[in-house]
Amino acid sequence: MTDHEPALAKSEAPSSERLARAALSRLMEPQDATGLALVRAAGPADALRIASGQVAFGPALQQEVTSLLVDSGAAPAAASLASALQRWKPRVGDLAPERDLATMQRLGGRLLVPGDRLWPAQLADLDLHEPLCLWWRGSELEFPVIQKAVAIVGSRDSTSYGSSVTGDFGYGLGQRGYTVVSGGAYGIDAHAHRGALAGGTNAMPTVAVMAGGVDRYYPAGNEDLLRAVANQGAVIAEVPPGSAPTRYRFLQRNRIIAALASVTVVVEARWRSGALNTAHHAESMGRVVAAVPGSIHSANSAGCHRLLRDGGAVCVTDVGEIVELAGASGEGLVGDKDTEASEHDGLTLEDLILLDALPLRSTSSVEKLAVVAGLSQNSVKAGLGRLGLLGLAVSVSGGWKRSGKKG
């Protein structure tokens, strides 16, 4: 406990950047694009001064924020700092980052910010939407870097089938040294955490990502479970202590679950389910989505079958298949942003050609790809299999397209 996280050592004063991020996480809702662009453009300390109205901003900063947002795909209309200030203003009076940090300290927790050695590097894949910070409540053990992580998500009202499958998967992944990430909810989430706690073999068997503040265990019925998760693993959130778990925050929270894990497994989900939202976050980040099949008569499997049918998800039936997917996609997930190049480094020339031939939006047939790429159909089939495992190609209703990190 001496040198692993110097900036967080309890006796030291927090840096101004750390304090600023703590404050900003209360000022701005998760994934407030304008705010996140402001932080990127001005740095956290100045961003806080501007966002809290202490300092005015000039047209150059507005221009930079706009162009960051346009680059990230957001409409420039959303970029107005002036209107964002109006949005943030009502919360300025509530800012008390020292108090929030003291609360965390009292709970045995801490604050993590990007750049900390223990900051989960894979969150950088969220790009502009990387959380400002993580409020962490966990054991006094060293917080290990979450590297080998699998997310297990699904319905709150899981069936006995879903519950038993989830428990088995959580246990099996724990046994194999994976960190099981989930949302701490009833049903599938709870069984995933329980399985991982029972089977876990590493220092961080499971992580619950909360939609509200980690000072409170939510839902109340899972308090004992979440306490155990905090004792053996971690309960984390991007919102500060005292924040309510709103519906919006649940949806934003899902992107963190997806980003922490290399594979997101949906065990049971109804046709419309929050778990599908997590799956779509994972898919849009180029993470592997896996779905567990079930009876076509079970409404709780309808969302999984939808994922399988729409081509975004890989069908998994046991822990071995999940580990295989996690292994295939584990490289190039952690670390630097420019993964495109390194991700493609291991590809053969043929696979690179095939990747180039794959359309981004529409799909193409094996026959067409063979023509476009100038490869035999058998080579195309074999190559698609390899690219599929790497998360670079995906089959959608019989056709193939590119998936994963946009090039």
The neighbour count for residue 361, using CB atoms within 10 Å, is 6
Which residue from 62, 175, 202, 395 is in contact with its own copies, where contact means CB under 8 A?
395
Residue 131 or 167: which CB sits closer to its own copies?
Answer: 167
Identify the CA nearest to 288 among candidates 248, 325, 323.
Answer: 325
Instruction: Considering only the stretches 105-113, 178-186, 250-258, 301-309, report the one whose residues sit in contact with its own copies under the rule CB under 8 A.
Output: 301-309
Question: Which CB atom, from 175 or from 284, has the smaller least distance to its own copies?
Answer: 284
Question: How many Cβ atoms are within 10 Å of 244's Cβ, its own excluded?
Answer: 11
> Binding residue for its own copies (CB under 8 A) from 318, 320, 346, 348?
318
Q: Which helix (H) or strand (E) holds 181?
A: strand 179-182
Beta-sheet strands, E only, within 272-398 = 288-291, 313-315, 393-396
Closest to 101 (Cα-Cα) out of 163, 8, 185, 230: 8
**What separation in angstroms does the CA of 264 have from each of 55, 233, 316, 347?**
42, 19, 11, 24
Q: In what helix (H) or strand (E) does residue 340 lie, and over which residues does it extend?
A: helix 339-345
- DSSP line for 101-159: HHHHHHTTEEEE-TTSTTS-GGGGGGGGGS-S-EEEEE-SS------SEEEEE--SS--
Least separation in angstroms between residue 338's CB and its own copies is 6
The residue with tokens 């900003």 is 24
Residue whose CB is less far from its own copies, 42 or 308: 308
Closer Cβ to its own copies, 60 or 296, answer by number:
296
Site for its own copies in 17-46 (CB under 8 A): none
By CB under 8 A, what part of segment 327-346 binds its own copies?
328-329, 335-336, 338-339
With contacts defined by CB under 8 A, how many residues of the chain interact with its own copies? 43
Tokens of residue 149, six digits? 């992580």
Which window, 48-56, 180-188, 304-312, 344-352, contacts its own copies (CB under 8 A)?
Answer: 304-312
Task: Check binding of 162 to its own copies (CB under 8 A).
Answer: no
77-85, 119-127, 221-229, 312-320 -> range binding its own copies (CB under 8 A): 312-320
Q: Which of 43, 108, 221, 385 binds its own copies (CB under 8 A)?
A: 385
Provide the 10 A C-beta neighbour count for residue 323: 20
Q: What is the contact surface with its own copies in residues (CB under 8 A)?
A: 161, 165, 286, 288, 292-297, 301-302, 304-305, 308-311, 314-318, 321, 325, 328-329, 335-336, 338-339, 365-367, 376-378, 384-385, 388, 395, 397-398
